Structure 1
């Protein structure tokens, strides 16, 4: 690809994803949750502001809930009652860059993007493992597994570190198997959620963890999305997941040593990043050696 074309493609990609999520205290990712926060009941449509998916542990009961930070005070909500509404303000075009071929859509196609960094007129969806009951009960972290997506189009969730970093796919509905990611205790992460078409989507997710006392605990839920202004949130609330769930996979492995930091996440592909870093290092050393040899000859 010519250099200028590549530069234009990168600029388009920056518009698609925004800036990368980070752990700077001023970026909205650093947070702590009040153990006394209540659970709201009744239908709710989340179409702006901050909301996280996350496990809760209360009185021996493990569940997956949605932390709604757009209300004051913040509350937890049940996924069967809360609808994520992604309005037409989230529409963006796929960049003309092969790096985004994993989205399965042609360059220039219009998709609905919940970006990795907050946009005022788009609901900001992330996940956290910061419920005080969870942090005191589990061992090291949780495994979040995508078990299926039902909707008129595809869903892809990916991270991107830096405007020039390669996209790191976490979940993709086009894959024929369940996909797991590992999130350490006391972390808060946001990613890019890309929906290819408007309509009602149901997203089946499992969250499992090892308890500090040696047991294992698990919960399943259905996340509900109304994509596009023409999609009635009531349709997403009334929909029933009709298909088979994807077969499970081995839970995402926790790293050998961990440090619970805001936004930390382990997914498949870390080895590839390490190999790439090693290749870059070897190439740099080789270039330096050649320069020294040329100076000696001179």
Structure 2
């Protein structure tokens, strides 16, 4: 187990641009069956097919690369990822005393550790969305905490993107045609479930969203079957979610613009009824004013 210095936890500077440059084939298939990914390059990202907006995992370890459904994938973080928290106040956000062993998925690739990133490079997504997407961390369930952060190449302070000890949801804006890798820290071995939602505005103005759950098995002794079968009771998004409480799993994305239609229709009916009542009352009042003998 390596002793982790601040420079090690911060990792190397962001790799040269060609390290993150990629173009995805629009015809890449969706693979079936379960997969345990413990080394190599994987990205989480949105897909848009046949009017359905979903979250999938792009698996570059397959030849040729494929997309996979999150429910079919366990991201396994082996003990080769173990480092120690440095004695540096800049990394107090890890929430563990200096010298504590933690599992670190690095921002720059370690050939012995699964390399987890995200992209907005599905060709159909790039054609459909206006500017970018928002990735929301809705909740995390696990034996410890999870922190995702970026380290700039100029030795600047870490930029924390997601922190499971903070209130949910936690939004992260991602531009179109973006491919990013960050540092992921897991403070305890075991199974983690991370509920995520990706939302976007399409070029036609409609809002779309998709939710799913990332399954992560941390540590060599953690059974991957436990990660496949794990579940949790979640709070609805936006209902005062608290740290450690995850949001429900979801399948294909939804079109939020459709939700407003029945609400507006009901409001129109009520408004029309109120207008009729006012007109009738006004007519009766005028008749009474002209004919004092009319019954009231």
Q: Please report the TM-score for the alignment, with normalisation by the length of structure 1.
A: 0.77
- For 2:81, which of 66, 83, 90 is the aligned residue? 90
8 Å contact from structure 1 (residues 68, 76) kept in 2: yes
* 1:23 positional shift: 4.9
8 Å contact from structure 1 (residues 14, 163) kept in 2: no
Following superposition of structure 1 onto structure 2, how do residues 142-291 of structure 1 map, counting pairs within 5 Å? 142-162=133-153, 164-244=155-235, 247=238
The structure whose Rg is larger is 2
Question: 1:134/1:248 Cα in 2 relative to 1: closer, same or farther (>3 Å)?
Answer: farther
Q: Please report the TM-score for the alignment, with normalisation by the length of structure 2.
A: 0.78
Deviating more after overlay: 142-151 vs 163-172 = 163-172
Aligned to 1:15: 8
8 Å contact from structure 2 (residues 10, 158) kept in 1: no
Q: For the residues of structure 1 that align with 2:117 and 2:239, how far apart are their CA atoms? A: 23
Structure 1: runs of 5+ lacking an equivalent: 1-8, 250-298
User: How many pairs does the alignment contain?
Assistant: 238
Structure 2: runs of 5+ lacking an equivalent: 241-296
8 Å contact from structure 1 (residues 149, 201) kept in 2: yes
Aligned to 1:44: 35
Q: Structure 1, residues 214-269: CA drift from partner, whole Å, max 9, x if none?
A: 100000000000000000111011001224256379xxxxxxxxxxxxxxxxxxxx
* 1:177 positional shift: 2.5
Aligned to 1:266: none
Q: For the residues of structure 1 that align with 2:185 and 2:217, how far apart are their CA atoms? A: 13
Q: Structure 1, residues 46-95: CA drift from partner, whole Å, max 9, x if none?
A: 00000000000011110000000011100000000100000000000001
User: Runs of 4+ in structure 1 displaced over 3 angstroms?
Assistant: none
- For 1:73, which of 64, 67, 77 is the aligned residue? 64
